[in-house]
Structure 1
Amino acid sequence: MVEIGRHEHRVYEPPRPECAGWQNGVVESSADPAPVAFSGSRLGWRDLPRAVRARIAELAGAEVIAETSATSGFSPGFAAVLELGNGHEIFVKAVSAEQNPVSPELARREITVATALPPEVPAPALLWSDDDGTWVLLGFEAVHGRSPEQPWRAPDVARVLAALGDLAAARPVDPHGLQPIAVALADDFRGWRTISAAAHSTQVDETGRRGERGAWVLEHVDDLAAWESAWPEAALGTALVHGDLRADNVLLDGDRTWLVDWPHATIGAPWLDLAFMLPSVEMQGGGDADALFWAQPVSAGLDPAALRAVLAALAGYFAHSSLQPSPLGIPNLRRFQGAQAEVTLDWIRRLPA
């Protein structure tokens, strides 16, 4: 299990004109390989304060004798499977604001979400948690498996899409503390409206240097803002939405497909996780996002305009976020978001007019 991705570290800072990849909302073309979903830094067991290590051992019920650190995901905190002296294993997350100021609140959110997950959802069980106001600790059932290979292989794509189809039918356990997705992401999913205002105020005239995709964005930035503004109605629904599924938040274990890291869970339309995940699948070589989307039962009868609205909001979030300074301890996140913005825009352009 790993943590954070698309919606973590939602701290607004003004766009930096010199930021590579996007400038004034215009994407720069790049031949670079897909970026890796990993922060490049993570705490080890010995990096934790002695009191935190003692508390984890107390909660786990045995001394810790070995660790296997998670090797994907963006969190700079501690995330590892711990082998215990009693022969058991447990997956532990330990975060504090020192590593990243937003991580503790996300960990607290994951504790809330755990109580809302129905038993049919393939998520590791939360066994215990602890919060002393500085360190937030979570102990999960340890599950094993591998992330989907990259580039994606067709059998892995099929397995994960089947799991998303099952998830689309899930509903949270009542009572729950999950927000409607349109409420939870109201501030995040307005990137094109922000970018459009900035672009018009600075009279961007660098279309020629931005490539064909950039030229299209400049020509359609007002359209993107208008499509984006319609996303709340398009996303309405009562389904359980993970909200942050990518290859690094999936574990394939024999015939079991685990969906992990749930701090961003909300309620909304049942097709949202499919739409949110497919740009990363295409980015990582898994196939055409549009073809994969419409081949799934959950997309049956969906108005393409609703999909366009949600994808515009998603692309705007990625594009605007990629302009911000890197969050503390997560230097690779902005490049990953910029790459997802490119693929999502290309998907939008393939939709019927």
Structure 2
Amino acid sequence: MPRATGGRRLMWDELPAEARAGIERLLGTKVITTISQPGGFSEGLAARVRLADGGGAFVKAARAPAVAGFHRREAAISAQLPAQAPVPRLLGTYDDGDWIALAFEEIDGRLPAQPWRGDELQQVLETVGDLAALLTPSPIDQALPARPRLGGWQALTTHDERDALAALAPWAVDRLDDLVAVEETAVSPFAGETLLHGDLYPFNVLVSTDRVVVIDWPHAWVGAPYCDVVTLLSSTRLSGVDPQPLADAHPLTRHLAPGQIDDLLVLHAGFLFKTAVTAGPTADRHLLDMMIALARASLRWLHERW
């Protein structure tokens, strides 16, 4: 598993004074100390904060327009998730048009161990199944979810992109025509009415002794209930875990036709490779390394299935 934290995090003191004051007004008291948190790749602040009244919260804040757009969508989605869902409760937002901050309840939990511990992986898989049941049909406004981040092989067929892909995944270049063909014919993609997390990897999960909490929802989309399970399982290869027995056992994947998992793996890996190959020189290297590793893991599972 590559480093699972973005390389462009900010500290509390690096935020403008106006933004810090706005966040404190949102929280209703002064911030005494902050602890930057691992996990996830959004730019800006991502920290647990200790408050003057003895309480705590988790705060993320960003300025860059693209990141701020993700934060605004996450705030809108989080505000509409059911109270019983295993997700952090949104306390409020600060948005001055330049900086945006989200404050969530502080979760007593940590990122799951990597490589995976068997008990924690089972705990997370059970929670994903429970989430799918709870979020079917999608409980949020239909205009909020993002488009699924799937597909991208066609963009890698040009000479330069093909050469770049060959350096990362030679097998994908050998099967590029087949991968493009699947991408062109996959059913619209994975239709359904379940609200999916859309970015379900170990760095977006917190575990404790008695529960699992799924964090960071800006990429949520609506589709087939098994999609998050396949995404999570595809990443287990980075821990040396064979995902196939887990897929054969999970209630959301054990009855699927082989092509349903294959098609999702194709489109999932295509998005990751395309993003990594076509990213400009200013892209966060930590994020690109993670995308490449996750894409290779998905491709290895696909290779074993084809």
The answer to whether the superposition gives a TM-score over 0.5 is yes
Counterpart-to-counterpart distance in 1, 2:161 and 2:234: 30
Partner of 2:251: 297
Cα drift, residue 145 of structure 1: 1.0
Aligned AA (1:129)? T
Q: Which moved more, 1:255-264 or 1:322-331?
A: 322-331
Tell me, yes or no, if the aligned pair for 2:153 and 2:180 is still in contact at 8 Å: yes
How many angstroms does 1:138 deviate by?
A: 0.8
- Supply the AA of the counterpart residue of 1:162: E
Name the CA distance, whole Å, in 2 between partners of 1:136 and 1:44: 15
Which residue of structure 1 aligns with residue 20 of structure 2? 53
8 Å contact from structure 1 (residues 106, 263) kept in 2: yes
The answer on 1:38 being equivalent to 2:5 is yes
Percent of aligned pairs sharing the same letter = 36
Aligned to 2:152: 191
After superposition, what is the alpha-carbon deviation per residue over 1:212-264, rounded to whole angstroms, capped at 9, x for unaligned?
A: x61x3233211111112233435110111001111111111220101000011
Mapped to 2, the partners of 1:306 and 1:90 lie a distance apart of 40
Q: Relative to structure 2, which stretch is displaced further, 37-46 or 79-88?
A: 37-46
Q: In 2, are the aligned partners of 1:318 and 1:340 still within 8 Å (CA)?
A: yes
C-alpha spacing 1:73/1:205, structure 2 compared with 1 (3 Å): closer
CA contact (8 A) 2:164 2:277 kept: no
The one-letter amino acid of 2:68's match is: P
Residue 127 (structure 2) pairs with residue 173 (structure 1): no
Q: Is the 8 A contact 1:192 1:320 kept in 2?
A: yes
Mapped to 1, the partners of 2:9 and 2:301 lie a distance apart of 33
Per-residue CA shift, 1:70-112, capped at 9, x if unaligned?
Answer: 1222122011111111111111111101xxx411000011011
Report whether the alignment pairs 1:268 with 2:223.
Answer: yes
CA distance 1:306–1:83, change in 2 (3 Å): same
TM-score, length basis structure 2: 0.92
Distance 1:203 1:175 in 2: 38
Q: Are residue 222 (structure 1) and residue 222 (structure 2) matched?
A: no
Determine whether 1:243 maps to 2:198.
yes
> What is the aligned partner in structure 1 of residue 39 from structure 2?
72
In the alignment of these two chains, the number of paired residues is 304
**TM-score for both structures, normalised by structure 1:** 0.80
Name the structure 2 match of 1:10.
Answer: none
Q: Give the aligned partner of residue 161 of structure 1.
A: 125
Q: Structure 1: any 5+ residue segments left out of the alignment?
A: 1-33
* Separation in 2, partners of 1:326, 1:37: 20
Q: In structure 2, the residue corresponding to 1:169 is in which secondary structure?
A: helix
What is the aligned-residue RMSD (CA, Å)? 2.4
Q: Distance in 2 between matches of 1:113 and 1:217?
A: 35
Instruction: State the secondary structure of the residue aligned to 1:270.
Output: coil
Tell me the equivalent position of 1:27. none
In 2, the alpha carbon distance for the partners of 1:142 and 1:224 equals 42
Indicate yes or no: 2:109 matched with 1:145: yes
Unaligned runs of 5+ in 2: none
**Match among 70, 83, 86 for residue 119 of structure 1:** 83
SS of residue matched to 1:309: helix
**Aligned residue for 1:350?**
304
For structure 1, which segment, 327-336 or 106-115, has the greater mean C-alpha deviation from structure 2 after superposition? 327-336
Could you give the per-residue CA deviations for residues 135-170 of structure 1, whole angstroms, max 9, x where no partner exists?
011111111211111111111111111111111212
Question: For residues 274 and 70 of structure 2, what CA distance do their matches in structure 1 show?
Answer: 21
The structure that is helix-richer by fraction is 2
Distance 1:102 1:234 in 2: 25
Tell me the SS of whatever aligns to 1:318. helix
* Contact 1:65 1:83 survives alignment (8 Å): yes
Find the aligned partners of 1:339 and 1:112 in 2 and give their Cα distance: 30
How far off its partner does 1:50 sit? 0.8
SS at 1:191 equivalent: coil
After the TM superposition, which of the residue ranges 169-178 and 60-69 deviates more from structure 2?
169-178
The secondary structure found in structure 2 opposite 1:81 is: strand
Report the Cα offset of residue 131 of structure 1.
1.4
Counterparts in 2 of 1:261 and 1:174: CA distance versus 1, 3 Å = closer
Counterpart of 1:16?
none
* Conserved 8 A contact 2:46-2:59: yes
| In structure 1, distance between residues paired with 2:224 and 2:242 | 22
- Report SS of the residue matched to 1:115: helix
- 224, 234, 259: which one pairs with 2:214? 259
One-letter amino acid of the counterpart of residue 25, structure 2: E
- From the superposition, tell whether residues 178 and 290 of structure 1 become closer, same or farther in structure 2 (CA, over 3 Å): farther
What is the aligned partner in structure 1 of residue 92 from structure 2?
A: 128
- Structure 2 contact 156–162 (Cα < 8 Å) conserved: no
Contact 2:161/2:277, CA 8 A, preserved across alignment: no
- For CA contacts below 8 A with separation 6 or more, give which structure has more relative contact order: 1
